Structure 1
Amino acid sequence: MDDNDDLAELDTAALDVLRELGLLSTEDWANAMSDRGFGHRRDMYELVDTVDSVDLAFLPDMRNIAVDVLLDGRVLTHRLTQREVASDIIVAIDDLSPITTLLQFAEDPAGLRATYRGVGDDEIFASLGIDDPFWPHSEALVLPQGTLSDYEQGDLVSLVVVGGVVRIRAVDGPLEQIDVSAAVREIVPEDTTVDRDAVVYQLMHDQPDLFTQPCPPLSEIFAGAGIEQSEDLVARAGFEFDAAMATTRTNMVSNTLKSRRRRGTCTRPVR
């Protein structure tokens, strides 16, 4: 067995420990691994800090959680557009990404696949007749052809996780009306952004019965709570996402230049 096999086994063991113990900080996770005889706490911290798995997720406070366990039995819904119905491709980013994370770049046993434009899978879109390079603009959930043949624009579909398998189901009957406005606003403070999936995972962790029946799409729930979305981030209504992104880019460039100056590698422009 080579080093890569050993590392893969340790990653698997680490995820099993996380599933057993539930929500853990990285330090507590490392300590739990060390207490179980997998290695020194320092080495285990480096290990769990670099675990790369679709089954691993984070809450807003950066504690770790086994998302495959958290999502089992959960249901999220999405309101279809005409383009989605015609193509059997759903734009997942606003409503379904907390679940589609389990499908990243791999086909689910039920035939569902989550992918992105420009990440090696563009032939999938071409094969389905999608020649618009700007659609889907973000995460796409690709369904087996004909899945949405009986749907119309505005209809609701749901994703449900059953035993680790993601399934798409029709939404029949009335939706469960939930009010999580206060909880969402407590998780999302003013004047900052929070990862949207992390917010949903926090809600699920705090309320185990939440999202176990079809309810309105996340985009509608967030809007009702006074929360706006921008790609994978959410913030209180009125937050200037573009300005915040510009500031982040400026700070990154500034920090890079400072680092180069300290190393003596920053060059002056030629006049």
Structure 2
Amino acid sequence: MEDLWTEILPNDMLIRPRSSRIFYDGRFFSYPLKPVEALLKLGVFKSTLCILSWLKARLFQARSPRNFEEWVSNQFGNRLFNTFFKSYTEKVWGMSCREISADWAAQRIKGLSLGSAIKNALIPQRYNGDRSKVIKTLIHSFRYPRLGPGMMWEACTEKMTALGGKLEMGCRVTRCSYDKTSGSWTVEYKDRKGDLYSVEAEHVISSAPMRELVRGLSPAASEPTKRAAQSLRYRDFLTVMLILKDRQMFDDNWIYIHDPSV
């Protein structure tokens, strides 16, 4: 995917330094973890308990972790899980950590553990151009379009129309029908006026919510598939733009609010 954006915006993907912090217990902690800073801010007593909890987890691991809580506790210990993972994760996803699968946790936090975080703090990973070999959570820089993500969609539109494609705005897809005989799709949609149109295609890429997509498929999906799609839960995502006059006020790209009081 990154190669695609590089191809689309060859001169506009800037490398930006990553600055992330965790807000917990009224304090900011650098992320990735800086052991000395964490020790001072958590206090010797709490830090000692966290390390002992991690050692216990390494000695007595859940052999087949079933959920997010068990998987993270295996990697970080139960005390660190409750401090830096539980509250934030449940606020973001609106569900208990025991309801989130261990597979999802392994994918989201791939390769990261307390040991790897401490190792990275002492001996930072070097980025040699191959991002696949760097633990994503520990990456210290990222690429970002010069004028923001909108540049990507504008560039895609320009390239698509230059190749003869057509962009229909303000339309709502009502049905996606697949013909096994011809191996093609027919996509029906309505424009702003409510007029119905259709277009045929060999391939269809959908960004619609899974519940709505499954309901609009033809031939109809199986009943188990419909029930599974209908059971999916979604979270509202709000973006707040804050424009500051003072560019030097802070340099954070991300602040993770782990404090349960917020």
> Could you tell me the TM-score, scaled by structure 2's length?
0.23
Higher radius of gyration, 1 or 2: 2
> Could you tell me the TM-score, scaled by structure 1's length?
0.23
